[in-house]
Amino acid sequence: MIRRGQGVVVGVSGGPDSIALLHVLDRLKTEMGFWIAVAHIDHGLRPDSGRDALFVEEVAGKLGLEARVKRADVRSLALQQKVSIEEAGRAVRYAFFEDVRGDLAAHRIATAHHVDDELETFFLRVFRGSSLRGLGGIPAKRGRIIRPLIRQTRADILRFLDDQEIPYRHDQTNLDPGTDRNFIRNRLLPMISERFPDFRKPLRRSMHMIRREERMLGKLSRELSSEMVSAEPDRMILDLDRLRDLPALLSSRVILAALYELSGENVRWKKAHLDAIMEIGLGASPSARLDLPGGLEARREYGRMMLAGKADAEAVVPLSVIVESPGAVEVPSAGMKITFRILEEVPSAAAFPDGAQAALFDADQAAFPLVLRSPRPGDRFRPWGLDGSRKLKRVLIDLKVPLRLRRTLPLLVKGEEILWVPGIRRGRAAPVGHDTRRVLEVSLAPVE
């Protein structure tokens, strides 16, 4: 999970699991030759949640570690995005951890998931009718995210904290019987444990087998997608003749992958959507159309199926605006307003924004005039925290920005250098350093 010389951002809530993880990694860091920093996000869901942030900062200070803290109004975000509070909180949390990782040029993000978390998630997904992928459990490593405690139980963690006399915060919302996860944690799992005391090991063994079979099916469906799905600007085209020959298990995966390529991860595609697409794809009519969530539609044209934005969507007008001085620029096509301010004093490290909704630059290196423009074919980007440059298109694909939104994103550019992709990430150019005298702050807000 961690190699010598690497940096690890540890997500710490202040509860027992994350506090145990922090202390374990702190004790291992010298022997194993890595360094750590702390990231805490206050979800604003409890009146006393600010005390958790203070506690985490105090623990980090005693251990001599840098701590980054951010507050988010998760309840409002959940309402805006029409998702559950848990889902909104998870999205905000991981986005913040990734921003901190990039800002500190760290290599890994460590979270404190353990065996009981994995089992709770398994049952939640069973009751919601999850796919094989959802039933495979929580992976120990996924990309840059690592979960060093994934083979430990909650009892192991509490025993360690008790033996070592390590204090931690209690989150009273974990006792609320009104949430599904708490019902599973506090009522269902204890009942199962009474009848099957050793159920954790065989259940995790089953999840491991599910995960292995899911990987095999995923690999096969990706290979098939490359043969029968072609991507064009703002659309994916499926070869229906070849799709018909596949078993339903694989054809649905090919369709699902194409849908997510267009919509990103924010749209929740269901079996009903896949069945409806297959119905018009296999039906007698050579021409058919189906409205889909996320402003998409499926259109059959004889032997092919097109998944695309709705035909009546407005054409995207290329953006090119010269920014001569501080102020605000509206980008209606992206629904954004971008504000530019000059700060005569350099903020402290703790006040640095996340790099997605706002970013800070050395004002002399990123001097006016600047340009806001649309992406162009061949654009290259040097993302903060990564070496070298990459094709901007590849960066946006890796970050799961929907295909139909990529053309509307404005870019903040100085010369040929992309300084910032608003809402996504800042570039490496014009960093704020010890020699910085003035700071350019750019921030993002929705168009009112």
Q: Is 288 within the bounds of a domain?
A: yes
Please determine, for residue 332, whether its predicted confidence score (pLDDT) is greater than 90: no
Judgement on whether residues 293 and 186 belong to the same structural domain of the protein: no
Q: Collect all residues with Cβ–Cβ distance below 8 Å to 333 and sequence separation of at least 6.
A: 316, 317, 319, 408
| pTM for this entry | 0.62
**Among the residues of 229-270, which ranges form H helices?**
240-244, 248-263
Locate 169 and state its tokens: 């915060």
Domain boundary among the residues 275, 309, 343 is at: 309
- The two counts, helices (H) then strands (E), for the chain are 15, 22
Judgement on whether residues 359 and 441 belong to the same structural domain of the protein: yes
5-33 pLDDT per residue, tens: 999 999 999 999 999 999 999 999 999 99
Please determine, for residue 246, whether its predicted confidence score (pLDDT) is greater than 80: yes
279-326 pLDDT per residue, tens: 888 888 877 888 888 788 898 888 888 898 875 444 567 889 999 999
The single-letter DSSP state of residue 314 is P
Does residue 98 or residue 265 have the better pLDDT?
98
Does residue 321 or residue 264 have the better pLDDT?
321
**Residue 316 pLDDT:** 60
Does residue 315 or residue 119 have the better pLDDT?
119
Q: Is 27 within the bounds of a domain?
A: yes
**What is each CA distance from 430 to 119, 359, 373, 434, in whole angstroms?**
46, 11, 19, 12
**Residue 97 pLDDT:** 94
Judgement on whether residues 266 and 351 belong to the same structural domain of the protein: no
For the chain, give the mean pLDDT. 88
Decide: 13 and 174 in contact? Cβ < 8 Å: no
Judgement on whether residues 380 and 238 belong to the same structural domain of the protein: no
Domain ranges, residue 286: 211-309
Beta strands in 386-438 (DSSP E): 390-391, 411-414, 417-421, 425-426
% of the chain with per-residue pLDDT over 70 = 94
The CATH number for 412's domain is: 3.50.40.10
Does residue 436 or residue 266 have the better pLDDT?
436
% of the chain with per-residue pLDDT over 90 = 52
- d(CA 366, CA 340) in angstroms, rounded, equals 12
**What is each CA distance from 9 to 22, 51, 152, 379, 432, in whole angstroms?**
10, 21, 20, 30, 21
Judgement on whether residues 67 and 178 belong to the same structural domain of the protein: yes
Domain count within the chain: 3
Q: Is 103 within the bounds of a domain?
A: yes
**Greatest Cα-to-Cα distance within the chain, rounded to the nearest angstrom:** 71
Q: Is 177 within the bounds of a domain?
A: yes
43-66 pLDDT per residue, tens: 877 787 889 999 999 999 999 999
Judgement on whether residues 27 and 154 belong to the same structural domain of the protein: yes
294-298, 346-350, 377-381, 426-430, range with the lowest pLDDT: 346-350
The CATH number for 28's domain is: 3.40.50.620
- What one-character-per-residue DSSP string does 346-366 give? PPPGGG---SSSEEEEETTTT
Query: Side-chain half-sphere of 412: how many Cα atoms within 13 Å?
Result: 37
**Which range among 104-118, 227-241, 264-278 has the greatest average pLDDT?**
104-118
Q: Is 330 within the bounds of a domain?
A: yes
The single-letter DSSP state of residue 427 is B
Judgement on whether residues 357 and 276 belong to the same structural domain of the protein: no
Judgement on whether residues 52 and 173 belong to the same structural domain of the protein: yes
Locate 293 and state its tokens: 């969530």
Q: Is 339 within the bounds of a domain?
A: yes
Q: Collect all residues with Cβ–Cβ distance below 8 Å to 105 and sequence separation of at least 6.
A: 7, 385
Domain boundary among the residues 309, 344, 371 is at: 309
**Residue 403 pLDDT:** 60
Q: Is 242 within the bounds of a domain?
A: yes
Judgement on whether residues 50 and 132 belong to the same structural domain of the protein: yes
